């Protein structure tokens, strides 16, 4: 288990400033860049930003944010988490990430997903009822674009391509590409079919529950004759000096976000007891560095994961608390997890 | 996992091999039921998934599962079961006379915006019942999140046992489904007629509930007050 990679992931949630007001979208984006710069200095391996199209989140264009981060960092890999491929154009996605790859000297990575939000569909003129077809066709086209050779393709979801060559080319000839999956078995099988690494979005319940999905991924890869890569997992969390401090800071800000999203989905407001249960037994890594490290190590070992990305921002959590969580993750949590798993 | 593994007589058919369908299949297998499961794709396309996620269940077509099963659980997207164009997608003839459990919810993020499924005066299960003339429809397994369902099965009498609420107009069918819920590791709470299931739907008091039987009864009482 020596080669586990650790990442941080954010959707650019609108934080409170140090005076307690909500940051603007622009401030929120600049703050994410500052957090990424710190993460790079601390030696964290990956920084991922996810696409949303809602007022609570500032990042709708992950690769533009990554481009900003690229020129201010040295080592950290720059990832999306996720790029909603279904409502995007695979050719443009490739071009934008190949550009980030150039700016970052080969550190760009894309995580493709279907997305658990739907705002991008009407925004870009897609019909939710084509959800499956859109992803199926576009991932197929994207996998061909990754060869970086001229592509001929036709389908129902975009204009056909005839021997189309797409630029810029990457220097390595290989744009790192993952697929993010939230629990649909069909998506796991599809990821294996294309031989992409699998990033499991585990945002509730015990991580053990996902062990069958890692088996499914490996067995499907075997059946398709593709490579089963080490799986990644991404889950939410927050780190402060002590367990109590982490929970006290995090819960009210998390609750604002969770209840707003939950109301759209018909869920009742989240209770403190549900939160405590999720922190204790589920997939919320909230607490002191020791607590978070212990729970992360256990989840990583259970799933045999090769990568763990922590979604460190939730709701309106203040900027300075977020920055400290990034620092504690890099300076204490990651070394502790490595020690535990060594 | 609980230890209710003695073989059961009834065959369970599950239409839908996604998150909910595979969890229910796993629970039913663990409880000793023969399970048939189908998706919108050919059986061969889900065989591996079923072998890994619900080992022991048989992947087949929807009409075969509906025809051979004694109890059929609908665990597909509601928008696919009741498509906007009215095309019949459920095996209506095979489901005639069968106990059919509706575990579906209107979920605009999957189903799209469907005003026809969101009227205040009628539950989605009543719409499903109308689409399945002759079936004995019971609403159940819709209110609990699939990961709570996956982790929540406990033997009868366990202090941590959670409950699944059900509703349906056929009292005898409700009783059969209540027994099934119990076998799968949950306490059944029969709310009565199908329309009473409104409280289980998205936006209502029991949607997402991962509660004990007495807690569910309390919530229902408060909702009615």
Question: So what's the pLDDT on residue B143?
Answer: 97
| From B39, B52, B112, residue closest to A128, measured CB to CB | B112
Q: Give yes or no for A222 touching B (CB within 8 A).
A: no
Portion of chain B with pLDDT greater than 90, in percent? 85
Which residue of chain B is at minimal alpha-carbon distance from A182? B19
Query: What count of other Cβ atoms lies within 10 Å of the Cβ of residue A98?
Result: 21
Range of the domain at B79: 12-224
Nearest 5°: phi and psi at A239?
-125, 135
Task: Residue A268: list chain B partners with CB under 8 A.
Answer: 205, 207-209
Rounded to 5°, the CA angle A144-A149-A151 comes to 55
| From B53, B105, B112, residue closest to A212, measured CB to CB | B53
- Picking from A171, A209, A215, A173, the residue whose alpha carbon sits closest to that of residue A299 is A209
Please check whether residue B190 lies inside any domain of the structure: yes
| From A188, A216, A268, residue closest to B207, measured CB to CB | A268
Task: Residue A118: list chain B partners with CB under 8 A.
Answer: 108-109
Q: Helices then strands (H, E): number in chain B? A: 10, 8
Question: So what's the pLDDT on residue B8?
Answer: 75
CATH code for position B212: 3.40.50.720
Please check whether residue B220 lies inside any domain of the structure: yes
State how many domains chain B has. Answer: 1
Q: How far is CA A320 from the centre of its chain?
A: 22
pLDDT in tens, B51-100: 999 999 999 999 999 999 999 999 999 999 999 888 889 999 999 999 99
- Picking from B123, B57, B70, B59, the residue whose alpha carbon sits closest to that of residue B101 is B70
Query: What band does B14 get if pLDDT is binned at 50, 70 and 90?
Result: very high
pLDDT in tens, A257-299: 999 999 988 888 999 999 999 999 999 999 999 999 999 999 9
State the pairing for strand pair A198-201/A232-239.
Answer: parallel
pLDDT in tens, A206-215: 999 999 999 9
Please check whether residue B94 lies inside any domain of the structure: yes
Task: Residue A211: list chain B partners with CB under 8 A.
Answer: none
Portion of chain A with pLDDT greater than 90, in percent? 90
pTM value? 0.93
Averaged over A236-242, what is the pLDDT? 98
Q: Do A209 and B147 touch (CB under 8 A)?
A: yes
Residue with tokens 């159940």: B140
Beta-carbon contacts of A252 under 8 Å, excluding residues fewer than 6 positions away, are: none
- Picking from A171, A178, A332, the residue whose alpha carbon sits closest to that of residue A240 is A332
For the record, the structure tokens of A11 come out as 């959707």
Please check whether residue B5 lies inside any domain of the structure: no
Q: Can you tell me whether residue B181 is helix, strand or coil?
A: helix
Q: Give yes or no for A204 touching B (CB within 8 A).
A: yes
Averaged over B194-208, what is the pLDDT? 95
Domains parsed from chain A with CATH numbers: 5-83+176-341 (3.20.20.30)
**Whole-angstrom distance, CA of residue A277 vs CA of residue B154:** 18
Averaged over A32-52, what is the pLDDT? 98
How distant, in Å, are the alpha carbons of B34, B35, B50, B66 from that of B7?
Answer: 8, 12, 20, 20
**Whole-angstrom distance, CA of residue A325 vs CA of residue A179:** 27
**Rounded to 10 degrees, what is the CA torsion of A181, A184, A188, A189?**
-150
How distant, in Å, are the alpha carbons of A201, B44, B50, B66, B200 from that of B22?
Answer: 18, 16, 7, 16, 21
| From B52, B79, B204, residue closest to A216, measured CB to CB | B52
Q: Do A209 and B201 touch (CB under 8 A)?
A: no
pLDDT in tens, A158-200: 999 999 999 999 999 999 999 999 989 999 999 999 999 999 9
Task: Residue B208: list chain A partners with CB under 8 A.
Answer: 266-268
Nearest-CA distance from A84 to chain B in Å? 14
Mean pLDDT of chain B: 94
Helix axis angle, B43-53 to A211-224, nearest 10°:
140
Contact by Cβ (8 Å): A199, A231? yes
Question: So what's the pLDDT on residue A192?
Answer: 98
Please check whether residue B37 lies inside any domain of the structure: yes
pLDDT in tens, A308-342: 999 999 999 999 999 999 999 999 999 999 999 99
For the cut 70, the answer to whether the pLDDT of residue A125 exceeds it is yes
Task: Residue B107: list chain A partners with CB under 8 A.
Answer: 265
**Whole-angstrom distance, CA of residue A141 vs CA of residue A161:** 10
Cis peptide bond upstream of A168, omega within 30: yes
Three-state SS letters, chain A: CCCCEEEEEECCECCECCCCCECCHHHHHHHHHHHHHHHHHCCCCEEEECCCCCCCECCCCHHHHHHHHHCCCCCCEEEECCEEHHHCCHHHHHHHHHHHHHHCCCCEEEEEECCCCCCHHHHCCCCHHHHHHHHHHHHHHHHHHCCCCCEEECCCCCCCEEEECCCCCCCCCCCEEEEEECCCHHHHHHHHHHCCCEEEECCCCCHHHHHHHHHHHHHHHHHHCCCCCCCEEEEEEEECCCHHHHHHHHHHHHHHHHHHHHHHHCCCCCCHHHHHHHHHHCCCEEECHHHHHHHHHHHHHHHCCCEEEEECCCCCCCHHHHHHHHHHHHHHHHHHHHHHHC
Q: Can you tell me whether residue B18 is helix, strand or coil?
A: coil
Please check whether residue B3 lies inside any domain of the structure: no
Please check whether residue B157 lies inside any domain of the structure: yes
Q: Give Rg (Cα) of chain A.
A: 19
Query: What band does B111 get if pLDDT is binned at 50, 70 and 90?
Result: confident
- DSSP element (H, E) containing B15: strand B12-15
Query: What count of other Cβ atoms lies within 10 Å of the Cβ of residue A102?
Result: 16
Task: Residue A220: list chain B partners with CB under 8 A.
Answer: 48
For the cut 50, the answer to whether the pLDDT of residue B3 exceeds it is no
Helix axis angle, B19-30 to B43-53, nearest 10°:
60
pLDDT in tens, A62-105: 999 999 999 999 999 999 999 999 999 999 999 999 999 999 99
Q: Give yes or no for A277 touching B (CB within 8 A).
A: no
| From B48, B147, B207, residue closest to A220, measured CB to CB | B48
Kindly list the residues of chain B whose beta carbon comes within 8 Å of any beta carbon in chain A: 17-19, 22, 39, 41, 46, 48-49, 51-53, 79, 105, 107-112, 145-148, 150-151, 201-205, 207-209
Task: Residue A212: list chain B partners with CB under 8 A.
Answer: 52-53
**Whole-angstrom distance, CA of residue B197 vs CA of residue B165:** 8
Rounded to 5°, the CA angle B15-B17-B18 comes to 125
Task: Residue B148: list chain A partners with CB under 8 A.
Answer: 205
| From B48, B111, B204, residue closest to A189, measured CB to CB | B48
**Whole-angstrom distance, CA of residue A190 vs CA of residue A92:** 22
Question: So what's the pLDDT on residue A73?
Answer: 98
**Whole-angstrom distance, CA of residue B223 vs CA of residue B221:** 5
Please name the residues between 142 and 201 in chain A that touch chain B, using a CB distance below 8 Å: 183-186, 188-189
Please check whether residue B2 lies inside any domain of the structure: no
Cis peptide bond upstream of A82, omega within 30: yes
Q: Give Rg (Cα) of chain B.
A: 16
Mutate to test the interface with B, among A113, A129, A135 (most CBs of B within 10 A): A129
Nearest-CA distance from A106 to chain B in Å? 36
Q: Do A212 and B109 touch (CB under 8 A)?
A: no
Task: Residue B203: list chain A partners with CB under 8 A.
Answer: 266
**Whole-angstrom distance, CA of residue B50 vs CA of residue A189:** 11
């Amino acid at each position: 288990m020596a080669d586990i990679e650790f990442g941080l992931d954010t959707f650019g949630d609108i934080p409170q400033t140090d005076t307690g007001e909500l940051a603007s979208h622009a401030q929120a984006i600049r703050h994410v860049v500052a957090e990424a710069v710190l993460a790079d200095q601390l030696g964290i391996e990956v920084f991922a930003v996810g696409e949303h199209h809602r007022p609570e989140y500032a990042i709708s264009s992950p690769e533009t944010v990554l481009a900003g981060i690229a020129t201010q960092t040295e080592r950290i890999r720059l990832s999306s988490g996720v790029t909603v491929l279904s409502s995007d154009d695979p050719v443009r996605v490739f071009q934008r990430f190949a550009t980030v790859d150039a700016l970052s000297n080969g550190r760009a990575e894309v995580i493709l997903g279907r997305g658990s939000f739907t705002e991008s569909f009407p925004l870009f003129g897609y019909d939710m009822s084509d959800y499956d077809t859109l992803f199926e066709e576009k991932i197929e086209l994207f996998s061909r674009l990754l060869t970086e050779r001229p592509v001929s393709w036709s389908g129902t979801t975009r204009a056909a391509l005839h021997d189309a060559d797409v630029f810029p080319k990457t220097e390595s000839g290989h744009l790192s590409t993952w697929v993010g999956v939230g629990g649909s078995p069909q998506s796991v099988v599809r990821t294996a079919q294309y031989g992409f690494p699998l990033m499991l979005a585990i945002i509730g319940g015990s991580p053990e529950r996902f062990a069958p999905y890692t088996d499914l991924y490996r067995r499907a890869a075997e059946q398709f004759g593709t490579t089963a890569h080490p799986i990644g997992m991404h889950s939410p969390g927050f780190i402060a000096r002590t367990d109590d401090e982490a929970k006290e800071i995090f819960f009210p800000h998390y609750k604002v976000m969770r209840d707003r999203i939950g109301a759209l989905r018909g869920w009742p407001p989240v209770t403190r007891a549900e939160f405590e249960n999720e922190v204790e037994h589920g997939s919320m890594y909230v607490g002191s560095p020791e607590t978070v490290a212990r729970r992360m190590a256990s989840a990583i070992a259970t799933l045999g994961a090769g990568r763990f990305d922590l979604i460190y921002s939730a709701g309106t959590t203040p900027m300075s608390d977020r920055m400290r969580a990034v620092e504690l993750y890099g300076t204490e949590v990651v070394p502790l997890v490595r020690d535990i798993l060594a | 996992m609980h230890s209710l593994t003695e073989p059961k007589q009834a065959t369970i058919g599950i239409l839908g091999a996604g998150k909910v369908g595979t969890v229910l299949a796993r629970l039913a297998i663990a409880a000793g039921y023969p399970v048939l499961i189908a998706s919108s794709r050919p059986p061969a396309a889900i065989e591996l998934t079923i072998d890994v996620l619900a080992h022991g269940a048989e992947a087949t077509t929807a009409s075969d599962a509906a025809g051979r099963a004694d109890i059929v659980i609908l665990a597909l997207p509601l928008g696919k079961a009741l498509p906007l164009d009215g095309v019949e997608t459920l095996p209506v003839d095979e489901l005639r006379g069968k106990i059919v459990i509706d575990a579906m919810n209107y979920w605009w993020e999957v189903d799209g915006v469907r005003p026809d499924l969101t009227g205040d005066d009628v539950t989605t299960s009543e719409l499903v019942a109308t689409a399945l003339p002759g079936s004995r429809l019971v609403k159940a397994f819709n209110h609990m999140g699939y990961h709570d369902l996956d982790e929540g099965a406990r033997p009868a009498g366990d202090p941590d046992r959670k409950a699944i609420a059900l509703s349906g107009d056929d009292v005898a069918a409700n009783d059969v489904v209540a027994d099934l819920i119990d076998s799968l590791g949950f306490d059944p709470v029969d709310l009565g007629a199908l329309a009473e299931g409104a409280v289980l739907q998205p936006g209502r008091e029991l949607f997402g509930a991962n509660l004990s039987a007495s807690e569910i009864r309390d919530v229902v009482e408060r909702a009615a007050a």
